[in-house]
Amino acid sequence: MLKELQEKYGYIFEKELIEEINQVGTFKEVTEGMLLMDIGQYIRSMPLLISGAIKILREDEEGDELLLYYLEPGDTCAMTLTCCMGSAKSEIRAIAETDTQLIMVPVQKMEEWTGKYRNWRNFVFESYHTRLMEMLETIDSIAFMNMDQRLLKYLKEKTRIGKEDMINATHQQIAYDLHTSRVVVSRLLKSLEKKGMIELHRNSIKIIALEV
């Protein structure tokens, strides 16, 4: 674990902090699709991403979902950071988008470290900042963009995260993430295919050219 820690976080954290994380943290590997955290669940530790990606979802009372953003290596979950104050229950759901390696740090350490390590403090602030910015982007998408543009953005993002020009997902799964219906996704995907931007297959979408 120390090796991965140094590789991904060595340049942001001071030596002693890396040491401490190495001592109290536990290494964890999760496979694609695994549920890492659900709404209403108690938060006991915070994740530091080493590799892979985690998608963060919001859900309403009726069970309708919406993708908020992805966590990537070097990220942590800002939601977790707030567990020390107020409610300790999660407001979001976290699912492994790809196979993912992460280090879990008990939340008790967090407050201690924010006083002790300047770099940790900055890391936490920066996490909050990126998360706020990503929430803003999500708001921009759903408030100002039409479904076809949102779908396009979703495909781009997913290709970036997946690191290949093939997206493995059914139309229904995409519909859940965008909080729309399967029929609408099929319709819009078909029109993208007609424009030559993608190629549709069963359970997968081949990306040809998404830009312009």
Partner DNA sequence: AGCTTGCAGTAACTTTGGTTACAAAGTCTT
Partner DNA sequence: AAGACTTTGTAACCAAAGTTACTGCAAGCT
Residues found near a second copy in the complex (CB under 8 A): 58, 60, 62, 64, 66, 68, 78-79, 81-82, 84-86, 91-92, 114-115, 118, 121-122, 124-126, 128-129, 131-133, 135-136, 138-140, 142-144, 179
Please name the amino acid found at residue 13: F
Nearer to a second copy, 78 or 167 (CB): 78
Least spacing, CB of residue 85 vs a second copy, in Å: 5
Residue 66, contacted partner among a second copy, DNA, none, CB below 5-8 A by kind: a second copy
Residue 103 buriedness (CB in 10 A; 0-12 / 13-18 / 19+): buried
Please tell me whether residue 125 adopts helix, strand or coil conformation.
Answer: helix
CA distances to 70, 160, 167, 192 from 200, in Å: 24, 18, 10, 9
Residue 172, contacted partner among DNA, a second copy, none, CB below 5-8 A by kind: DNA
Backbone angles phi, psi at 102, to 5 degrees: -150, 160
Question: Which position among 85, 202, 211, 212 is part of the footprint of DNA (CB under 7 A)?
Answer: 202
List CB contacts of 108: < 8 A, sequence separation 6 or more: none
Binding letters toward DNA, positions 141-180, x by CB under 7 A: -----xxx---------------------xxx------xx
Please tell me whether residue 151 adopts helix, strand or coil conformation.
Answer: helix
Report the interface residues with DNA, using CB under 7 A: 146-148, 170-172, 179-184, 186-187, 189-190, 193, 200, 202-204
